[in-house]
């Protein structure tokens, strides 16, 4: 895999064959080309993309279905990745702030089931 385009799903086997640093570089290269973000924001943005793409490629339960649902509701794939990344980000924030003690796959799935394109656009 030579380039990353969030509008097209990477072939899972090819994505998973890359080491984590290669995945990060590919995602970062894409975003540096199209976005001007401060360095720290770009680093975080890239990491969340990689987390979600890893979940998609690893066939984590309900991720692919959520991406498909969000696309059917009008988001492009890139925005659908962002929508899921926002859930991951919220969970990590809650863990670091002590608002919860551990990651819950059950709660994560509930959030994935509840997210819609409309809610994500409204920031809910």
- Return the CA Rg of the chain: 14
7 found inside a domain: no
Per the structure block, which two tokens stand in for 115? Answer: 């997210």
2 found inside a domain: no
73-94: pLDDT as tens digits: 999 999 999 999 999 988 787 7
Contact 30, 10 (CB under 8 A): no
32 found inside a domain: yes
pLDDT confidence of residue 95: 74
- Cα–Cα nearest to 77, from 123, 1, 8: 8
pLDDT confidence of residue 124: 64
Instruction: Give the domain extent around 20.
Output: 12-122
pLDDT confidence of residue 37: 81
56 found inside a domain: yes
Contact 77, 71 (CB under 8 A): yes
CB-based burial of residue 13 (10 Å sphere; 0-12 exposed, 13-18 middle, 19+ buried)? exposed
Tally the domains of the chain: 1
6 found inside a domain: no
User: Per-residue pLDDT for the chain (124 aa), expressed as one digit of tens each?
Assistant: 899 999 999 999 999 999 999 999 999 999 888 777 888 889 999 999 999 999 999 999 899 999 999 999 999 999 999 999 999 988 787 777 777 777 788 888 999 999 999 999 998 6
- Global pTM? 0.90
1 found inside a domain: no
Residue by residue, DSSP assigns 17-78 as HS-HHHHHHHHHHHHHHH----HHHHHHHHHHHHHHHHHHHTT-TTHHHHHHHHHHTT--HH
């Amino acid at each position: 895999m030579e380039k990353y385009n969030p509008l097209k799903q990477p072939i899972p086997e090819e994505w998973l064959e890359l080491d984590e640093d290669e995945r990060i570089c590919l995602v970062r290269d894409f975003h540096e080309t199209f976005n001007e973000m401060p360095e720290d924001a770009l680093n975080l943005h890239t990491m969340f993309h990689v987390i979600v793409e890893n979940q998609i490629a690893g066939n984590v339960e309900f991720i692919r279905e959520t991406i498909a649902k969000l696309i059917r509701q009008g988001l492009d794939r890139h925005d659908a990745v962002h929508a899921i990344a926002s859930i991951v980000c919220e969970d990590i924030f809650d863990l670091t702030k002590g608002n919860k003690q551990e990651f819950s796959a059950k709660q994560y799935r509930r959030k994935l089931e509840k997210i819609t394109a409309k809610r994500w656009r409204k920031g809910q």
